[in-house]
Structure 1
């Protein structure tokens, strides 16, 4: 991204973090004020921690360790089950905020010197459209931890031991909370190759170590947690995925356009070619930072197409809808947004104008999707209060979001 000479007083990090947290909260207040367990939060993380305690940290799920979610389950044991979902939601919001905060820190002053555009991109991240599935729930915090890990890998070295310790914790926690360390390994190698310094070597070593652990877990559980049926691999399905998840989701235009994209292979194909062209141009004229992020996003996108979990009997058909498997496209969606910023920063007049226009178009999606859909209240609090007063051995069923999903079952100890 183009280096500007511009004087701008940076926002103090505590204030920036507070603003980001407030914006995330305002998008989905019910995540905190009416907290409920979300999916695996109630099916695995909390019940496993309740039953077997710290041993749950060693249990793989869907083929790999999910440490951040397991730690959340253990932390929630410090309070009653009534407040367990709130603990999960608070941890999730803090994790979701951290990449934005890290991006606007001085660790990126050299890589992205123009602070206003860096702050603007952090706000795009906070307001990212079509992200309700990943916001405010610990199950999907691994996606935001992966973004934080990427930023740590490519950032300038910290000035002291505390910063280095924080980097190491972020890389290890992310690496042991999903398969993303495997996808970040090429980025870590690339970054180390650029300077051959001690800091890059340490980051590469941590990514390699966690990759080895997660790869062993994946091999040991292969076939038990991956989809076994046909994926629905066709060119029309692919262009619908690209058009719906990387174009329409970012701009969230009219419902009429959504129906047109959904039903017309030609329209989906044109939009797919357009977004690929934008990405190629951004790669051509962008910085190393963008190229590294684009590589990471491409690997995430490819892996999501090959091994989607819980995407129905024909995963590619499901992924080609606006809401189906939206978590898989949070990172690729940010890459497309970064491509818009990259084109806007180029010194080439027409490309820069096109990039600015695309950034303005993106604000439509941000504004239209600024608040997440209202979720139907549940009777979780009533059940939790009854559970707290129940005798040992009592079996109780707790509602879990999203609505209609299977419940959480606990037996009182």
Structure 2
């Protein structure tokens, strides 16, 4: 059919395959929730059809309005939000709930794409840097105030898109160094860490002494960087002490193991690993998983849904799912790079990067490589807000790609 020539069949197939496999696994955990997820899937297809009937320019022209609405929904959580599992990040309407942060990400992606594709954007100028930081930072600050640390981490995805558009790689280097100092300071005496930082700085100065143009600014820069990292190392244990008990334990689980907290924050991880490990190569069979059917993992239909795959479908099924995600995310990046429109390209990179961070953090959580922070597995974790938001982003990009492929420009 001629009208279907601009559709990317591979990415559409992967979206449908992952979504339907998710419904199957949620149904195994809880049949009623599985039926609801199927309804969410059908609603998403209807919404996708509506998106395909819209004009492509709609997303550019209304990007700022969608962005502002997303921020207002986040701010509205403070007076009108409902607290669920210790976080006030939900709206409740009768028997339905809605998590606005999932939809706010769409607004940020559209707004960022709109600004970057405009004539005034150039990361060599401070105005452009400050503008993109404001676009990302305003909703991020609100999310931090909720607080929703997991969703806050996802906002790093937008910097991956900006890297494609010229953001210096030093940004990620600085983030990596800060993260490394924080994590090391949790396991080692901060004074040793500060000593190590001092040695590294002295080596840098020694090896580059004649290459650096020494003046007041360069000396202040070196001294300021050292003091910042030293202060972070010294303050990290104190920050940990002031965290709520359940958040502190989620971080300590990484160092002490889940068995040390088997009755509290390590409980989910302990049984998650048990479920995944017991699946063997081909799994125990659909609805035959003892951990899954015994309801040993709380919230297994949401953040920990991957352990159901590991137990019932085994290493083979889990690996196949990982491959599907990897190919899907890689395909979105590939299609984004091929776009003629800068707006389309930036949105594609934002979308793929959000998927990537969600996917990496969620799998890291269920395998004990990352603290539990409440990050859903895209399309797979139960929840109407998450599934609908990811589907909206998916269909917007499918629409943009379709229009781009059929464009004569």
TM-score after normalising by structure 2: 0.34
Work out which of the two has the higher radius of gyration on C-alpha atoms and give 1 or 2. 2
TM-score after normalising by structure 1: 0.34
